[in-house]
Structure 1
Amino acid sequence: MNLQEWFEQGLTPEEYIQDMSDHKENLLHVLKNFHLSGDEASLINKLREANWRVIVLTEDWCGDAMMNVPILLSMAKAADMEVRLLHRDKNLQLMDQYLTNGTSRAIPIFIFIDEEGAEKAVWGPRAPAVQEMVTNYRSSLPPRDHEEFEAKSREMMEKLTESYRTDESLWQEVYSSLKTTITERLY
């Protein structure tokens, strides 16, 4: 399938959010509280003129998606950019074309396409500053075979989820990273 066909199979943001069960409230919190700054008019106008669309590979259990998707949706709304979301686990044929480091099915992945369905830019799964934070958290975990690994891993995920939900500086890191990726391909 080409990217145009994948886009057409995707869920609208409203359909995706309605069907969420794991991180719906957290995603809606970020969506409600994240705002583009007023000095983004130039980028938003360029995006609107380019008439790009976005395919999002995601799952609603994913904390990174819970934070990153609403930031993309805010940008897309401002630029009149259509977004379609696909569940990663039901769309592995597409996901496997966008592996992180060639091996990982990490999400979310944002695939920006033009009117003909040609890939214009790809972003995800994390902003560099967020990746650094996650790497630091993970480095403090005991080895996988340690008896406390599962409990400590759950604690780490809870801390990450809370940070993703409430730390607006992380939201700005995601937005800045998205802008950088888009700007490199738009101008």
Structure 2
Amino acid sequence: MNLNDWFDSALTYGQYAEGMTVNKEEMEAIFNEFSLDEEKVEFVKGRQLRVIVLTEDWCGDALLNNPILMKIADAALMDVRFILRDQNLELMDQYLTNGTARSIPIFIFINQEGEEVAVWGPRAAELQKMVNQVKATLPPADAPDFKEKQSAAFKQLKESYVSNPSLWNIVSESILGKLRERV
């Protein structure tokens, strides 16, 4: 399948949100609370870009990044469609992080002909540094308390994703920066 076919077969935001069983409330809270300076997206308006989002509702990065993308897309008049990673590995495996990881979300920006214009994800570079710092504090994976500490660390990250508007701005600037490079 080409990217237009993937786009055409994907879920709308409403369909994706309706099917969510995890992180829906948090994602909607970010969407409702984040305000985007619409002047920042003027450069992309009129380019008729569309976005394919590889995602899953259980993903903490998706609960942060997807609503930010939706605000950008609304302001820039971009149509966005959602594809569940775990049911669509054929597409996911074309967008592996570092060539090995099925990290999500991945945003694939395409033109009307279905040509890839830009790819962003799974997280902003500044947030990657933050996640790396948190992971560096964890005990070795074979330590008896690893899972407990990892769970606590991920819970803390998720809470900061939901409650820290400066992180929302970092994500927004990262996505817009990628588009500025490519369009």
- TM-score range (shorter-chain normalised) is over 0.9
Distance apart, 1:29 and its partner CA = 0.4
**2-structure distance, mates of 1:14, 1:135:** 33
With the length of structure 1 as denominator, give the TM-score of the two structures: 0.96
**2-structure distance, mates of 1:91, 1:48:** 30
Q: Which of 139, 145, 151 is residue 148 of structure 1 equivalent to?
A: 145
CA root-mean-square deviation: 0.8
Q: 2:12 is aligned with what amino acid?
A: T
**2-structure distance, mates of 1:184, 1:128:** 15
**1-structure distance, mates of 2:43, 2:180:** 9
Q: Which of 71, 75, 78 is residue 78 of structure 1 equivalent to?
A: 75
Report the secondary structure of 1:85's partner residue.
strand
Give aligned pairs, total.
Answer: 183
Q: Which of 149, 159, 162 is residue 162 of structure 1 equivalent to?
A: 159
Distance apart, 1:79 and its partner CA = 1.2
**2-structure distance, mates of 1:37, 1:50:** 19
Distance apart, 1:38 and its partner CA = 5.0
Structure 1: 4+ residue segments shifted above 4 A: none
**2-structure distance, mates of 1:178, 1:79:** 12
Q: Which of 66, 69, 72 is residue 69 of structure 1 equivalent to?
A: 66
With the length of structure 2 as denominator, give the TM-score of the two structures: 0.98
**1-structure distance, mates of 2:35, 2:27:** 14
Which residue pairs with 1:57 in the alignment? 54
Question: Which runs of no fewer than 5 residues in structure 1 stay unpaired?
Answer: none
Distance apart, 1:39 and its partner CA = 3.8
Report the secondary structure of 1:69's partner residue.
helix
Distance apart, 1:68 and its partner CA = 0.1
Report the secondary structure of 1:49's partner residue.
coil
Q: 1:24 and 2:24 equivalent? A: yes
Alignment of 1:1-187 (within 5 A): 1-40=1-40, 44-186=41-183
Report the secondary structure of 1:83's partner residue.
strand
Percent identical: 48
**1-structure distance, mates of 2:111, 2:45:** 11
Question: Which runs of no fewer than 5 residues in structure 2 stay unpaired?
Answer: none
Q: 1:28 is aligned with what amino acid?
A: E
Report the secondary structure of 1:50's partner residue.
coil
CA offset digits 1:30-55 (Å, max 9, x no partner): 00011112542xxx233221100000
